[in-house]
Chains A and B, each alone.
Chain A
Amino acid sequence: MTLFGQTVVSGLLLGGIYALIAIGMTLIMGVMKIINLAHGALIMVSMYIAWVLFNVWGIDPYLSMFVVMPILFGIGFLIQRYMIQRVYGVETILPQSQLLLTLGIVMVLTEVIRAIFKSDYYTVRTSYSTSTFFLGDISVSIPMAIGFGIAMALVAALHIFLSRTDLGRSIRATAQDRDAARYMGVNSVRITAITYGLGAALAAAGGVLFLPMFYLWPDICPMFTIKAFIITVLGGMGSTVGALSGGLILGIAESLGATYWAMGYRDVVGLIIFILVLLFLPYGFKSLIKR
């Protein structure tokens, strides 16, 4: 029983942070319907910025979020406005040509980071990095728990932003029907750039939450990108609640798979759920929650 409890608790905590990373992706995919391979690279950049803040000025990673998120919002906004927008919505033979552009961005960001920081592995370790508290026999990692809490707070804030503010409503309108939104006077170019920036900022938050318990190096990107893709499809594009449930379910499923099947097949569990959802719930979990 302890084993089962431990598995579910660690899966749940991890899933919370997964959800945060994926919500950035789900916004971008929901509004733009593109495959954004650069998501992991943005997470990596945010982690490096937080690492510099920690190492040079000793700023705690959780505090540095207030600096890193705006910076990444800016980077994301600029990438979308001046690079992706150029090929976005242009009549091309294949509409997916931005996929290649985001790949190019990954290559450039990775190599720029490598040129500055070398390929070394960096860690940020704070006093609470490995501290835990126990619920009975089940150990709960404090940075994981804090990360989970912050992730949930951000998800809630985003949900309120999207449903209560004008800007948020414009983003949702653009996601639902770009043309209709345009006719209603929404500046879709600006909204798209803001969405991409917002997605980047949320990804940054996820990256920073991982920092006290993980490590960073220039080639870390694909792992995060794949996780974000899976959760986005699990949850359904453009749905915060969907991404949240997708993240939590993926986290728990992976943990259970690692415990009761084999650690080597940990990622396979997530991928199989992913394909099953694609086949039987093509619009993700959000189609279940739909009122």
Chain B
Amino acid sequence: MKNVKLVLVLGLAVVLVAAFTLPGCVPEVEEEVPTGPIKIALLIPLTGPFAMFGELQKNAFAIAYEDLEAEGKNIINGRKIELLITDTQSSKDIAKTAAERVISVDMVDMIGSVYSSAEGAAIAPVAEEYKVPVLINAASKDAITEQGYQWVFRANCPSSHYTDAPVEFFEQVLKPKTAALVYENTDFGMSSAKGLRLRFEILGIEIIHDEAYEKGGLDFTPMLAKIREKNPDLFYPVSYVMDAVKVSEDMKKLGLNIDCFFGGGAGYVMVEYVEALGKDTEGIFSTTLWVPSVNWPGGVGRNSTDFANEYLKRFGKDPHYIAAQAYSSMYVIQDALSRAEEISHEGIRKALAETDKTFTMGPIKFESWSDDIGHSYTQQNKAPTYVVQWQNEKLEVIWPLKVKTADYIFPTPKWGEK
């Protein structure tokens, strides 16, 4: 009896799988001259823990696409650009499966957007294996562009280089002697910390506290109490999303005042940060990849201020740099498609490799380069980074000097005096 059931069930499983895969059984007819739309897949998280950022990307792409439409640029040689938005459910496995799908079933011409580091690390090899160009605009894992991939392009900064502008700023302006470095134990946090350790050593800044924390913490007081005992010149926490709010609030509760409170990107520049902390943000430094006030001359598409206003008007929220990166990517894609000799994977790859223009988030050019801390990248854009500071609840650029919008305040005011 048991046997019959086993066979029945196994058979049922096979039938289910087979039924599902049946459309794949039909041999694909090679089209000679494709006439349909040019398909661009966006593999972004719309559910799960990263959904908020997927939403930012989706919205920014929507604005960019409508802008292109208004200019009539969304049609290339009579073929319309079509965006195929796919949810990765914030899961690396689903992201990989989704990449396989858009490549082998939907036959997309390229993949245009990838959010998290883990998803990037899953999608990039798939794209490489099937020779489909992929443009990464948010996944910051260093290793993605360190594998020598020929088909993977990255417009955003790798996580070790988020600290470029701050390091220059410390070297030339603040010159701290001692630093406390804390970071979330994710790829982003650990890579940033690794890069900083090497750079601080070069600059002669002594790291007197170095600690990772589990992201999403309920209470940071024990860690901050230890830092209070050591009293460093510089406090550099690398936190994502709301941990930044918690760290700052717990510092306030402890009365932990540090001359230079320097948030390491991401969380410290989000709208939610200033919404939660209000005027307590005064004088807090951070690093960021895009600011609404820096308008690159000669940029394709809306300039930064314009984009920020449009995003606010449309979605009722200030955009994060993730959105600006996504907006620029749409234009990078359009630019490459318009220059491509033929709309094929190889043609698009060649055109992408020759990208050399200025976009909303800054100049984009995919180059091979090495840095002073042992990374060597291929087809990696050298994205600009900025040092910003919260002044009167607004982000002001203070470094690099040529784009600064305000003088910096130093030291960061004490918590009670803001």
Whether A264 pairs with B221 at a CB distance below 8 angstroms is no
The 4 closest A-B pairs by CB, nearest first: A119-B51, A258-B222, A263-B213, A119-B52
The smallest C-beta distance from B377 to any residue of chain A, in angstroms, reads 28
Whether B272 pairs with A263 at a CB distance below 8 angstroms is no
Interface check B282, CB cutoff 8 A? no
Residue of B nearest to A264 (CB): B212
Whether B214 pairs with A214 at a CB distance below 8 angstroms is no
Residues of chain B within 8 A (CB-CB) of A111 are 47
Residue of A nearest to B275 (CB): A123
Whether A215 pairs with B51 at a CB distance below 8 angstroms is no
Pull 22 A–B residue pairs with CB atoms less than 8 Å apart, ordered by A. A3-B225, A7-B225, A119-B51, A119-B55, A120-B52, A120-B55, A120-B317, A121-B242, A132-B253, A132-B255, A139-B253, A139-B254, A210-B218, A214-B218, A215-B245, A215-B246, A218-B51, A223-B216, A259-B223, A263-B213, A264-B211, A266-B222
Q: A139-B254, A141-B253, A223-B216 are in contact. List 17 more A-B contacts (CB 8 A).
A: A3-B225, A7-B222, A10-B225, A114-B47, A114-B51, A118-B51, A121-B241, A123-B276, A130-B249, A213-B249, A214-B246, A223-B218, A255-B222, A258-B223, A264-B213, A266-B214, A266-B222
Residues of chain B within 8 A (CB-CB) of A125 are 275-278
User: Which residues in chain B, 203-255, are within 8 Å of chain A measured between CB atoms?
Assistant: 211-214, 216-223, 225-226, 229, 241-242, 245-246, 249, 252-255
Whether B221 pairs with A6 at a CB distance below 8 angstroms is yes
Interfacial residues, chain B to chain A (CB-CB below 8 A): 47-49, 51-52, 54-55, 182, 185, 211-214, 216-223, 225-226, 229, 241-242, 245-246, 249, 252-255, 272, 275-278, 280, 317
Whether B211 pairs with A219 at a CB distance below 8 angstroms is no
CA distance A15 to B221 in the complex (A): 14
Interface residues as binary, A125-138 with B (CB distance below 8 Å gives 1, 0 otherwise) = 10001101010000
CA distance A118 to B213 in the complex (A): 27
Residue of B nearest to A224 (CB): B218
CA distance A217 to B48 in the complex (A): 10
The smallest C-beta distance from B415 to any residue of chain A, in angstroms, reads 8
CA distance A256 to B55 in the complex (A): 39
Whether A264 pairs with B51 at a CB distance below 8 angstroms is no
Residue of A nearest to B49 (CB): A219
Residue of A nearest to B223 (CB): A263
Residue of A nearest to B52 (CB): A119
Interface check A112, CB cutoff 8 A? no
Whether A266 pairs with B51 at a CB distance below 8 angstroms is no
Residues of chain B within 8 A (CB-CB) of A223 are 216, 218
Interface check A243, CB cutoff 8 A? no
The smallest C-beta distance from A51 to any residue of chain B, in angstroms, reads 13
CA distance A129 to B182 in the complex (A): 24
CA distance A214 to B48 in the complex (A): 19
CA distance A111 to B49 in the complex (A): 12
Whether B242 pairs with A262 at a CB distance below 8 angstroms is no
Residue of A nearest to B242 (CB): A215
Residue of B nearest to A10 (CB): B221
CA distance A223 to B242 in the complex (A): 15
Interface check A14, CB cutoff 8 A? yes
Residues of chain A within 8 A (CB-CB) of B214 are 263-264, 266-267
Interface residues as binary, A216-237 with B (CB distance below 8 Å gives 1, 0 otherwise) = 0111000100000000000000
Residues of chain A within 8 A (CB-CB) of B277 are 125
CA distance A119 to B185 in the complex (A): 22
Residue of B nearest to A259 (CB): B222
The smallest C-beta distance from B235 to any residue of chain A, in angstroms, reads 14
Residues of chain B within 8 A (CB-CB) of A6 are 221-222, 225, 254
Residue of B nearest to A18 (CB): B218
The smallest C-beta distance from A166 to any residue of chain B, in angstroms, reads 38
Whether A14 pairs with B52 at a CB distance below 8 angstroms is no
Interface hub of A258, A262, A267 (most chain B Cβ within 10 A) = A258
The smallest C-beta distance from A52 to any residue of chain B, in angstroms, reads 16
Residues of chain A within 8 A (CB-CB) of B221 are 6-7, 10, 255
Residue of B nearest to A218 (CB): B51
The smallest C-beta distance from A275 to any residue of chain B, in angstroms, reads 18
Whether B212 pairs with A263 at a CB distance below 8 angstroms is yes
Interface residues as binary, A256-273 with B (CB distance below 8 Å gives 1, 0 otherwise) = 101100111011000000
Whether A3 pairs with B48 at a CB distance below 8 angstroms is no
Given contacts A14-B219, A219-B48, contact A263 B211 (CB under 8 A): yes
Residues of chain B within 8 A (CB-CB) of A130 are 249, 252-253, 280
Residues of chain A within 8 A (CB-CB) of B51 are 114, 118-119, 218-219
CA distance A264 to B184 in the complex (A): 8
Residue of B nearest to A213 (CB): B249
CA distance A125 to B241 in the complex (A): 16
CA distance A266 to B226 in the complex (A): 14
Residues of chain B within 8 A (CB-CB) of A217 are 52, 242
CA distance A141 to B52 in the complex (A): 30
Residues of chain A within 8 A (CB-CB) of B185 are 264
The smallest C-beta distance from B326 to any residue of chain A, in angstroms, reads 16
Residues of chain A within 8 A (CB-CB) of B211 are 262-264
Whether A10 pairs with B219 at a CB distance below 8 angstroms is yes
Whether B182 pairs with A263 at a CB distance below 8 angstroms is yes
Residues of chain B within 8 A (CB-CB) of A259 are 222-223, 225-226
The smallest C-beta distance from A12 to any residue of chain B, in angstroms, reads 11
Residues of chain B within 8 A (CB-CB) of A118 are 51-52, 55
Residues of chain A within 8 A (CB-CB) of B52 are 118-121, 217
- Which of these, B47, B216, B255, contacts A139 with CB under 8 Å? B255
CA distance A132 to B222 in the complex (A): 16
Residue of B nearest to A262 (CB): B211
CA distance A215 to B35 in the complex (A): 50
CA distance A215 to B245 in the complex (A): 9
Whether A262 pairs with B222 at a CB distance below 8 angstroms is no
Residues of chain B within 8 A (CB-CB) of A256 are 222
Interface hub of B49, B216, B219, B246 (most chain A Cβ within 10 A) = B219
CA distance A120 to B316 in the complex (A): 12
The smallest C-beta distance from A50 to any residue of chain B, in angstroms, reads 16
Given contacts A6-B225, A262-B212, A263-B222, contact A123 B55 (CB under 8 A): no
